[in-house]
Amino acid sequence: MTVSEKRRWLILLVVSSALFLIVIDMTVLYTALPSLARDLGTSASEKLWIINAYALAVAGLPGLGTLGDRLGHKRMFVSGLIVFGIASLIAAYSPSPATLIGARALLAVGAAMMMPATLSIIRLTFSDEQERGLAIGIWGAAVGPLIGGVLLQHFWWGSVFLINVPVVVAALVAAAVFIPRREGSRDVAWDPVGSLQILVGLVGLAYAIEELAREAPSLLEAAVAAVIGALALMVFVRRQRRSKAPMLDLKLFENRNFTLAVVVALVSSFSVVGLELVLSQRLQLVLGYSPLQAALFVLPGSLLAFIGGPLAGWASHGFGAGRMMAGALLLAGLGVAGLLLAANAGATPQLLSLSIFGLGLGASIAVSSHAIMSQAPAERAGMAASVEEVSFELGGAIGITILGSLLAGVYSAVLVLPKGSVLPPTALEGIDQALRVAETLPADAARALTKAVHGAFDAAYLTTLAVAAVLLLVVAFKAWRTGAAQQARIRS
């Protein structure tokens, strides 16, 4: 192996550290959510916004990938690391839910700068198609929940953000040494107005969905938010179609394989983020697991995702991206279905189901990322990486919004409070609030309320699993048909 080849893999290690930060920041939060919700006294709506502020802001800043094409991807990568480190310090010591939501939005700005840059650097560093597929598979692996569980076993919830700081420092030093500087192209246009339009659109629709899931929703607020969001997205699409140098080239979606990869990325992120959100809460709030025990419970899924990503990225060149994505989503859907059927059957079948789910999702994320990046020329790698980033972050935001709101809505709908009990309205908002109320009641009343909220949460949990399983299996079938049609055209 020559020195240049060694350097390629060192560059991969450096940019993967950035993804490690980004994914860790997302996945450890689910493990930490019950602890920080208790300490900060968050409402059900604030919990969703603490998670969703990050995903919506990242999805709403796709122009930063195009800005990387203009200014240079190394410059964006390093700048994003600095912003991410500062935001991590603010998040770690947030005194209130509002401050934490703001810090999460700032973390998203750093992530939106780094994520397209990491994929673009890989796209420009690895010219071989199969080698690039393996590199992207390695880039996409992470084990966040375990790290979060270990930290929360010994420290306060802010430690899950504080751990980012030494990684940022190490990555900054390594980036300066190993990543070559490539000048951007001043011919590439940057569209901050378009970024604002898509951000307003996504936040508006998310607000509308979450408002409708409340116990006593304001239909007027939901309708106004939905209209504003839909109009902003319509104006964004119209602006991109008319632009000579669009921030997001919508013509790429005329390629059926590219569109399929984007849909698979959306569905994969929707499922994994939604599942982690509801499973982490059930393990800790219903089954009584500690954060570390909850992290160890989901570890098999994380490990199989670590294996599935690189294997699928390496094999996709030979088997075809469509078929690989279909097989990966089928595995993931079967894993969620198994988790649904085994919800009360003990740990072993649930761990097996989580392992199957992790293997499938790790593979689908790697293959869809590779397929999206392979459709764009090298000089527009940042734009393609932005599409990839928006796909995953938007999928995660939709998963949190829809599955989180579904969880809250079903919980409120099926919760039957003990007869004769007079409880504050917050007990109906979510399981966290109800359990805090139970701590203030006499022993018998506390047991009755706890049993009722556990039953309601389990009903909501099973509903969200069913929705995720059906979605994965339906998209897997569609991906298989698309892949089969492509192979038939090649043979003819």
Which is more confidently placed, 227 or 199? 227
Average pLDDT, the chain: 76
Q: For residue 465, what pLDDT is reported?
A: 92
Is the confidence at residue 91, as pLDDT, over 80? yes
Is the confidence at residue 1, as pLDDT, over 50? no
pLDDT digits (tens, 9 = 90+) for 452-481: 888 888 999 999 999 999 999 998 888 887
Q: For residue 3, what pLDDT is reported?
A: 35
Is the confidence at residue 196, as pLDDT, over 90? no
pLDDT digits (tens, 9 = 90+) for 400-432: 778 877 888 888 888 887 776 666 666 666 777
Q: Which of 179-183, 411-415, 435-439 has the lowest mean pLDDT?
A: 179-183
Q: For residue 2, what pLDDT is reported?
A: 40
Q: Are 74 and 118 in contact (CB under 8 A)?
A: no
Mean pLDDT in residue range 145-172: 74
Which tokens is 470 given?
A: 């059906």
pLDDT digits (tens, 9 = 90+) for 108-147: 888 877 776 676 666 666 666 555 555 555 544 445 555 6
Q: Are 274 and 464 in contact (CB under 8 A)?
A: yes
pLDDT digits (tens, 9 = 90+) for 356-383: 998 888 888 878 877 776 765 555 555 6
Which is more confidently placed, 185 or 408? 408
Q: Which of 103-117, 134-148, 158-172, 231-245 has the lowest mean pLDDT?
A: 134-148
Q: Are 305 and 141 in contact (CB under 8 A)?
A: yes
pLDDT digits (tens, 9 = 90+) for 26-71: 666 766 777 777 788 787 677 777 877 776 676 666 666 666 666 6
Q: For residue 382, what pLDDT is reported?
A: 58
Q: Which of 47-51, 77-81, 245-249, 437-441 has the lowest mean pLDDT?
A: 245-249
